[in-house]
Chains A and B, each alone.
Chain A
Amino acid sequence: MKRRSFLSTLGLAASTAMLAAPAVQAADLESVSLRLKWLPQAQFVGFYMAKAKGYYEDEGLDLAINPGGPNLLTENLVATGADTFGLSGGTDSVFAAIEKGLPITCIGISHQETPFVFVSKADGPVQEIADFKDASITTWFTGANYVLFGMLAANDIDRTDMNIQPQQVSVTPFVDGQVDVVTATRYNEYYTLMQRVGEENLKRFVPEDFGVSFPRDTLIVGNDFAAEHPELVQGFMRASVKGWLDAFADKEAAIDLIMKEAPTLERPHQEFMLDEVEKIMLAGAAAEQGLFTIDMDAVSSAHQILVDYDVLGGPIDLEAAFDSQFIDAIPSAERLPE
């Protein structure tokens, strides 16, 4: 960071010397990056929107958006300083990072409720949660499994002798009837299922209906950066919120933007994704308080599940790991669609 401030001082000195007015503004921008949890898609379009409209520049940020990938851990990249901000896996990955002692803090939560659901066929053997007992179930063993365990436990179903298998990339085993219950994110796999099976033939089991919630897609920042540049963190949040509200207000433009970023994507799927993401981002506490609200009740309920299942060695300091000051500094009215 020292070198960075030295460089910006140098830049400032140089531009003052040149007395070139337009250059001053460019030199003042702080170079920062946002690491996403996956490749460009509508799930992240608000950030692209904020960048395209110059909202980050208005806050003094020259922001680069770096895509994620299957083998990248956003928390690690932010902790090492390779990236300034990150949109990481979710509350679960933040807990794990804090437990490992990584110097990061969550400054906002994007997906207010569990972004995935469990799906069975409307005419299949699984009609209610009790039917899970004798069903063959696949789920992701990267967090979703604990949501499932939590749902089962909340309904007094003993999972020890159940048939729960890790889910691979494809939902085809479910479509073909080899599996009774499949896990699907509301914005991606569920779309594929709708295409192949038809929405009317699907039955959804929403974790929230069974007393379990798992907020995901967490915005994180490195502790050093936040301590040194609180005003830039504040600016990043302000610009991101504006970008997202613009994306919701003009979805056509938002999808255009993402299709420009990744032209091989399927437009109808991206449109569906944006609609679903909007619902998830404005659900729960965010419905009242606005985008990126950190709902500590939901966070602690997710935390409790992971403690109960010994995924975490013990409780972590949630107050330190989740810092609402930046997002709360933006009035709720400015964080909600008109």
Chain B
Amino acid sequence: MAGAQPVARRFGAVLPLLKGVVVLAAVLLAVELLVIAFDIRPYVLPRPSAVLEAILRTPAAYRDAMVRTGLETLLGFGAGALFGIWIGIAFSRLRFLRETIFPIFIVSQTIPVIAFGALVVMWFGNTILAKAVIVFYLTFFPVTVNALLGMRAVDEKQVQLLRSFGASDREIMRKLRFPTALPHIFVALRIASALGLAGAVVGEWFGDTTGLGVLLLQGMYAENMVAIWASILCSAVLGVAFFAAIGLAEKRIVFWGGESA
């Protein structure tokens, strides 16, 4: 079976995405059958095929919305992840910082995003930056917490061993502490990606023209169930894509197998 190994590995890499798509398709099919079988009224739950049809009727509108919301999430998530990892490491090294700044972070996270969102839009206007800031706000915290946790999960005996070989603090960080923290960080990234997407959608409820949040709002206003579900479905696809991308990155980066392997 040695020859099958690389193929299996390559397949393993796209497996999360494939799995997501298959599961989504199966759920949609099940719902379709349920709606037909129990004769559920369309304004309670529309048939998934009607939802798909609505998307296909105006594909450009849904594509633009997904691109826009995806971009907002990506920008905010990228910044949040980098900042979270960086500050998490800083917290683990500097006790003073941890004791002064960390409580502020915790307080910041108790503010509901919907309240915070209004503020952000007043500060940054109706720009993509405003949405990215909201996404950032939702993503950096779980990453910070898990990065800190990961940094502390290091076995002190291993640190001492490396030190006995004459390794510097920097080398210990690069070769031991950071790699040990990585699986923890990836757990947080998965959580943060879903949170960030929600943040981007909510951020669009403050006077924007494109995005899944806007389509959702328009659907809700007219009580158009099909339109509401169409934007939910697009959000789900986007969420699965983000989740899968992180899984893929994790497989590559944490190749030795971390928590979730």
A contact set with B: CB distance below 8 Å: 35, 38-41, 66-72, 82, 169-172, 175, 188-189, 191-192, 196, 262-266, 269
Known: A39-B214, A71-B118. A266 touches B43 (CB 8 A): no
Tell me which residues from 184 to 236 in chain B have a Cβ below 8 Å from any Cβ of chain A.
205-209, 214-215, 217-224, 227, 230
13 further A-B contacts with Cβ under 8 Å, apart from A169-B220, A171-B223, are A41-B218, A66-B126, A68-B207, A72-B206, A72-B207, A169-B221, A170-B223, A175-B43, A188-B221, A188-B222, A189-B223, A196-B43, A265-B222
- Interface centre among A69, A192, A196, by most chain B C-beta atoms within 10 angstroms, is A69
Q: Would B217 and A264 count as touching, CB distance under 8 A?
A: no
Residue of B nearest to A170 (CB): B223
Q: Would A69 and B205 count as touching, CB distance under 8 A?
A: yes
> Separation in Å of the B118 CB from the closest CB of chain A?
5
Q: Would B221 and A264 count as touching, CB distance under 8 A?
A: no
Interface size for B (C-beta < 8 A) is 29
- A41 CB contacts on chain B under 8 angstroms: 218, 221
Residue of B nearest to A40 (CB): B209
- B205 CB contacts on chain A under 8 angstroms: 69-71
Residue in B58, B117, B121, B208 whose CB lies within 8 Å of A264: B58
A267–B214 CA distance with the chains assembled, in angstroms: 18
Known: A39-B214, A263-B60. A67 touches B208 (CB 8 A): yes
Tell me which residues from 43 to 64 in chain B have a Cβ below 8 Å from any Cβ of chain A.
43, 54, 58, 60-62
A39–B206 CA distance with the chains assembled, in angstroms: 10
> Separation in Å of the A33 CB from the closest CB of chain B?
11
- A39 CB contacts on chain B under 8 angstroms: 209, 214, 217-218, 221
- Interface centre among B54, B207, B217, B218, by most chain A C-beta atoms within 10 angstroms, is B207
> Separation in Å of the A84 CB from the closest CB of chain B?
15
- A69 CB contacts on chain B under 8 angstroms: 205-208, 217
